[in-house]
Amino acid sequence: MRNIYQPQEVKVISVSRESIDTVLLRFQFIDKKRQKAFAFLPGQFMQIGFPGWGECPISICSSSADSKKYFELAVRDVGQLTHKINELKNGDEAWVRGPFGNGFDTGLYTGKELILIGGGCGFVPLRPLIIDCLAGRIKPKSLKIFYGCLNEDTLLFKKQYPEWNRGAELSVILEKPTERWHGEKGLITALIQKRQISSSAVVVMVGPPIMYRFAVKELEAKKIKAQNIWVSLERRMYCGVGVCQHCAIGPYYVCKDGPVFSYSQLKDIPNAL
């Protein structure tokens, strides 16, 4: 019987410091066969950790088109384990399980206006969608990206903005920028209010719970249906397979039935968002 708790060893093959508190790491399985067989969907996550340090769930942020070669995780330094991950260098090893979760149902975006809304490190799981849309693997009619962040120091994936702006409409808004910032200032909800969004658009939104509560109101004001609003949730979790109960919300498990849910699935569950 396969041990569902058995992690596998991976090696860091490149490190890029994305922001003041977040590192982008590219990993490869030590076991070459495992790497060749590795496959995932955008929106799925891995459990990453070290012996003696525990595991934490982190969304995969590279494109599934490269899954046979490597996968990438962008990890924000918010606790002991994520701090240790942030200190990883080229050639260092870590232990992973996964991929877990349902991932984004990208077939639903075909021919639709696709709106991606990211708040803070919630921008991370949206990156594979952006890459796959620009490469033509996901085929929306148009792509708009709204990204809200605290300040310039915490902006993620800056190097890719010129490329993303060519293939999509990228809007960045900062809550507390420095005086040097010439872009928009405020909360992500301000972007949703200002921009044209058709009522038939499909919205994928990832961010903190407080962002969901306010952003959903703005989207509903734009007549976007609950079943066309998708979110990815974050919860404490251990097993990754719907047993340990930590990530349960109402009848669902974030690790197994999620992390991606439509707003129509969640709106009647108390405290889901």
Partner 1 sequence: MSGHELSAFIFVLICVIILLIMLKEDDKLKRLITAVFRDYFVYAPVKRDGRLLAQEAKVPDEIDWSGKLTENSWKELFLPHREKLFEGRQGLAETKGEQPPVACLGMNILDLKALTLFDLVFGNDVYYQNRRQKTVVIGYGADWPNSYKKSKVFSHNFKEDALEHVSFDVFIAGRKGGEPIFYSGSSVGRKLLESCRIKDFENIKFAGAIAESGPDKRMLEIKGKLERSANHYLWDNLDQVCLACGKCTVACPTCFCFDLEDKANPDDPRRDRRWGSCFYNDFSLVAGGHQELDTVRKKIFFWYYHKFVRIPKEYSHVGCVSCGRCTRTCPVGIDIAKNIAKISKLK
Residues in contact with partner 1 by CB under 8 A are 1-7, 9, 49, 51-56, 78-79, 82, 95, 208-209, 234-236, 238-239, 242-246, 248-251, 270-271
Helix (H) / strand (E) element for 23: namely strand 22-29
Query: Distance between CA 61 and CA 75 in Å, rounded?
Result: 10
Q: Which is nearer to partner 1, 109 or 263 (CB)?
A: 263
- The closest alpha carbon to 77, from 140, 23, 38, belongs to 23
Burial annotation 256-269 (CB, 10 A radius, 16+ → b, else e): bbbbbbbbebbeee
Find the shortest distance in angstroms from Cβ 244 to partner 1. 5
Cα angle 41, 115, 177 (rounded to 5 degrees) comes to: 105
Q: Which is nearer to partner 1, 91 or 107 (CB)?
A: 91
Find the shortest distance in angstroms from Cβ 32 to partner 1. 17
Find the shortest distance in angstroms from Cβ 269 to partner 1. 8
User: Cβ-count burial of 253 within 10 angstroms (0-12 exposed, 13-18 middle, 19+ buried)?
Assistant: buried
Q: Which is nearer to partner 1, 49 or 118 (CB)?
A: 49
Q: Which is nearer to partner 1, 122 or 140 (CB)?
A: 122
